[in-house]
Amino acid sequence: MANISDIIEQFILKTLGEDDSVDISRNELANFFSCAPSQINYVLETRFTLDRGFVKQSRRGGGGYIKISRINVEDDNYMNNLILESVGDELSAKRLSQILDKLLQEKIITRRESEIIISALSEQSLSMPFTIKDSIRARAFKNILSTLLIYKEEK
């Protein structure tokens, strides 16, 4: 059986459908699922992220509406935002895998490219102190994304 986070995510995705954006009320959604608004926040913060192809905008008043927009991953701004904002200064192996899954799903990279990146930036490949491993992984991945962006433009 799916957990409540999965159910809320699927509900929002179904509501979004083929549209570019949807407005939702955090409180109404919490009431609908009989859960705390913090559970809705958790789903929004972990499942509707830039690296998964979504942008969120909060609107104050009227019960706290949130606009969730699907972004065009073919747009160069998506890759630039991914490089500058989503990856950040540190990147765990798990987060790297999530970002690569999205890039693979959107056909920005191939399965082979994804596996090469995972292999190069894995815990085993980065045999260094834990305190710097995630920052080295983030820097290397940003360079890889920059290269992908350059070669994407040449197509």
Q: What end-to-end distance do the CA atoms of the chain give, in Å?
A: 44
If DSSP codes are grouped into helix, strand and coil, which group holds residue 24? strand
* DSSP β-bridge partners for residue 5: none
Question: Which tokens belong to 5?
Answer: 């986070």
Q: Which pTM does this prediction carry?
A: 0.56
142 sits in which H/E element: helix 130-154
CATH of the domain at 140: 1.10.1200
Confidence of residue 151 (pLDDT cuts 50, 70, 90): low
Q: Domain check: are 54 and 86 in the same one?
A: no
Domain span holding position 34: 4-70
Q: Domain check: are 145 and 82 in the same one?
A: yes
Confidence of residue 12 (pLDDT cuts 50, 70, 90): very high
d(CA 40, CA 37): 5
Question: Which tokens belong to 98?
Answer: 């999530």
